[in-house]
Structure 1
Amino acid sequence: MRKLNIGLSDEQRQGVVELLNCDLADSYLLLIKTKKYHWDVIGPQFRTLHKLWEEHYEALTENIDSIAERVRMLGGYPIGTAEGFLKVATIREHAGSVPTATEMVARLVEDHEQIIRNLREHIDQCSDSFHDEGTADFLTGLMEQHEEMAWMLRSFIEGEALASDGSNQNANVKTPVGV
């Protein structure tokens, strides 16, 4: 078998593969959580959230495949088991709970923001430590997608306090002195 010769040492490639496998694990858990919330959501925003999460899990599915393929391009093997994902993921499941629609959104925002922070770190490591600008660029694209998804979800939560005329319903609430 011919040795991979793409201008990165085995150590550099292995370092990048480890980062990518962490990103893969987080993406997979986020996909599972997004699908579960898509199935479980109820309430007045059902249709809106059901459709939004369908868009998100479809994008996440494509991203997961791209991450796994990037691992293979670098001569590594992607994690492919639930056990493996759970070992390296930085986001956590919330097994056994069915939160309200707003709590679902808030949890997904937290997860997207965690992934964004990880990706920022991984982009820097790919460039600075492993000199793999291709993967750094790839991860930048993923980060931008997560930033957009997090923004959409945050906008949903922020919009709950708005009245139909666009004013903030909480603006007239007085905070007691000394609080």
Structure 2
Amino acid sequence: MKTTSIGITAPSKDQVAQKLSHILADEFLLYTKTRNAHWNIEGRDFHAMHIFFESQYKELDAMVDMIAERIRTIGHYAPASLQTFLNLTHLTERIYQENNGEGFMRELLADHETVVIKLRELVDFFSGKLHDQGSADFITGLMERHEKLAWTLRAHLV
């Protein structure tokens, strides 16, 4: 792999890549759980929830790609195996709720909120400690997207 010269020290790029790899794993697991909801939803609201979860997993799919590309942009390789994702994620793949709209939404909402908290922690770390404002801005954008996805889930649960 060619060395990138973008104004970030090599040790900082290593740390950013490591943190982004954890976030990529979280995103991929959340994407998979959202796909599960889309495929396995049951109940009277099946059709509406099937479409709703599809819109959510499509958003997550785009985010997964963006994170992998950010890792590549700073000169590292993105992890890309299911076992690696399971080793890196902060989330669990287990579903604790029922296969209905409310159950899936509660489960996915908790995961989105966990991801938002992790991303919020990284903003200051990237900009302050690692002097990587680009990654801090990138993470801020991801955080905002997760906040919106969480809001749409939460709005269904009132």
Q: Normalising to structure 2: TM-score of the pair?
A: 0.94
Q: Does 1:25 align with 2:25?
A: yes
Larger radius of gyration: 1
Counterpart position of 1:4:
4
Aligned mates of 1:136, 1:102 — CA distance in 2: 33
CA distance in 2, matches of 1:28, 1:133: 24
Q: Which amino acid aligns with 1:116?
A: V
Question: 2:113 maps to which residue?
Answer: 113
Aligned to 1:34: 34
1:147 is aligned to 2:151: no
Query: Structure 1's 84 and 2: CA in aligned 2 closer, same or farther, altered over 3 A?
Result: closer
SS of residue in 2 equivalent to 1:37: helix
Q: Which consecutive unaligned segments of at least 5 residues does structure 2 have?
A: none
Residue 57 of structure 1 corresponds to which residue in structure 2? 57
Q: Are positions 1:123 and 2:123 aligned together?
A: yes
Deviation for aligned residue 1:103:
1.2
* Cα pair 1:34 1:57 within 8 Å, conserved: yes
Q: Structure 2 CA distance, aligned partners of 1:11 and 1:65? A: 24
Q: How does 1:81-120 map to 2 (within 5 A)?
A: 81-94=81-94, 99-120=99-120
- Residue 18 to residue 34, structure 1, CA distance change in 2 (3 Å): same
Superposed displacement of residue 134, structure 1: 0.6
Instruction: Quote the offset at 1:99 in angstroms.
Output: 3.3
Which amino acid letter does the alignment assign opposite residue 107 of structure 1?
Answer: E
Partner amino acid, structure 2, of 1:108: L
Equivalent residue for 1:43? 43
Task: Write 1 or 2 for the structure with the bigger share of helix.
Answer: 2
CA distance in 1, matches of 2:118, 2:129: 15
Q: Which runs of no fewer than 5 residues in structure 1 stay unpaired?
A: 159-179
Equivalent residue letter for 1:19: K
Q: CA deviation at 1:100?
A: 3.0
